[in-house]
Amino acid sequence: MQEVLEAAEKIKSMEVRGAARIAKFAAEILMKFAEKASPEKFDEEMKWAADTLLNTRPTAVSLYNAINYVMRYSGESVDEKRKSVIRRAKEFINWVETAQRKIGEIGEKRIKDGYTVMTHCNSSAALSVIKRAHENGKDIRVIATESRPRWQGHITARQLREAGIDVTLIVDSAVRYFIDDVDCVVVGADTITANGALINKIGTSQIALAAKEARVPFMVAAETYKFSPKTLFGELVVIEERDAREVAPEELLKLGVKVRNPAFDVTPRDYIDVIITEIGAIPPEMAYVVITERLGYAGIEEEEITLNSRHFD
């Protein structure tokens, strides 16, 4: 139990962060927990672990999809159920890894030799595209935004430098200043809605606006487990608002200064040229098909959208 509570805290505090990493981590934790859960109350304890992990960060649907995938375990005996959880968790982890590789292979074709690419925050899927272009011998430069308030752009800049890629860090507010130097934008996704909108790190939609104005292609790298079945049934994506102290010093807060600190924003599909998934480069209008056909939600009623229901068939 302690391990699950600690894992949930790591997600909340962003020690483990990024939509893919959070999803993979949750699958790993459920797998470990299944090995220890008591035979008498196996289902109950698994449900508790699933709920605890789910109630950490609300925005990235990858967490929901990962937990749902693992919690579709089956078996007559507890031993069979345990094995089923472990098998399903491993399948999900494998999905994360293979999808990111495939996205790199598909997405890199959109990056030409000599390109300057802009990216935002720290997305493993977006970096897979950029790194693959570099590995394939293309001479590219990257402009990385610092991504206030948590500076995930620093992680991106470090990872790109470690891969030997030319990278320039800019403040978020300099995006429009530099957009004319950029040949394409590549960002990741926390969630793609049924109508093809992108939810990603706060500031993403401003980059999309600037890119559209400057006629710069805006590309999203998103595994299919970032597509939201919940939105198919009309639910709106919850945008996480984080602590004011991430943004403002205590003395300002003491003066009664109000602070809003949303962690994500929404980019409408009209601003997105292409979504690179592991099943292909698709237009955002295809989101509905991904949710119904790929994730298996065709014909599923809204009331079935709960943990332990039939998904991903």
Q: Which is nearer to ligand RUB, 50 or 66 (CB)?
A: 66
Token pair of 247 as six digits = 């943004």
Q: At closest approach, how far in Å is the CB of 55 from ligand RUB?
A: 16
Q: Which is nearer to ligand RUB, 10 or 294 (CB)?
A: 10
The answer to whether 225 touches 65, Cβ cutoff 8 Å, is yes
Q: At closest approach, how far in Å is the CB of 312 from ligand RUB?
A: 18
Stretch that binds ligand RUB, among 33-41, 44-52, 72-80, 185-193 (CB under 6 A): 185-193
Give the 3-state secondary structure of residue 305.
coil
Active-site residue identified among 121, 172, 184, 273? 121
Q: Which of 4, 7, 8, 19 binds ligand RUB (CB under 6 A)?
A: 19
121 annotated active-site:
yes
273 annotated active-site:
no
The answer to whether 42 touches 222, Cβ cutoff 8 Å, is no
CA dihedral sign, ordered 304, 306, 312, 313 = negative
Looking at the chain, how many residues does it have?
A: 313
The site string for ligand RUB over 192-231 (x = CB under 6 A, - otherwise) reads --------xx------------------------------
Instruction: Establish if 267 lies at the interface with ligand RUB (CB under 6 A).
Output: no
Stretch that binds ligand RUB, among 129-137, 186-194, 253-261, 302-310 (CB under 6 A): 186-194
Q: Which residues in the 107-146 window bind ligand RUB by CB under 6 A?
A: 121, 123-125
How many chain residues touch ligand RUB (CB under 6 A)? 17
CA dihedral sign, ordered 13, 14, 19, 25 = negative
Map tokens 């793609």 to a residue: 192
Beta pairing partners, 144? 119, 169
Q: Which of 68, 152, 193, 277 binds ligand RUB (CB under 6 A)?
A: 152
The answer to whether 223 touches 125, Cβ cutoff 8 Å, is yes
Cα–Cα distances (Å) from 48 to 5, 8, 43, 134, 223, in that order, read 10, 12, 9, 44, 27
Stretch that binds ligand RUB, among 19-27, 33-41, 82-90, 274-282 (CB under 6 A): 19-27
CA dihedral sign, ordered 236, 96, 52, 7 = negative
* Closest to 9 in 3D by CA, of 29, 35, 34, 38: 29
The residues that touch ligand RUB, with contacts defined as CB under 6 A, are 17-21, 60, 121, 123-125, 152, 188-190, 200-201, 263
Which of the residues are catalytic? 121, 190
